[in-house]
Structure 1
């Protein structure tokens, strides 16, 4: 690959990156502030439905489980395997 072709390739990549950055602009004035959650519970004994662990790549498939044997004062606990 000669120098002219390499220069044109670098220039084309820079133009594409510049177009990408300027094309992804968002008007901040249209955003609404986030509302404060109405649920004050931080540490609760029960777990809501739909509590799932989504494993990815080479992670442990059963890293997060709901354990009914070891618990403090509720019905179950969340076991996290590290």
Structure 2
């Protein structure tokens, strides 16, 4: 069964969380300005992405929108 990708936007913190499967503990690696790759510490697989200061990048998000984000999760996290 494929894992479900979940998105959650915290408007107060202005942070977008992307989780592959159920959100869980992870270590984070900064891969760009305010962009963190979330990695499972045991398996070293990518399990999510965190984008901070989202409205700075895309403007205010008052309603559901399509965001121009391309993610290649096939690359090794190590």
Q: Rg bigger for which structure?
A: 1
Shorter chain as normaliser: what TM range? Answer: under 0.3
Normalised by the length of structure 1, the TM-score is: 0.20
Normalised by the length of structure 2, the TM-score is: 0.21
Q: Quick check: which one's helix share is greater?
A: 1
Q: Quick check: which one's strand share is greater?
A: 2
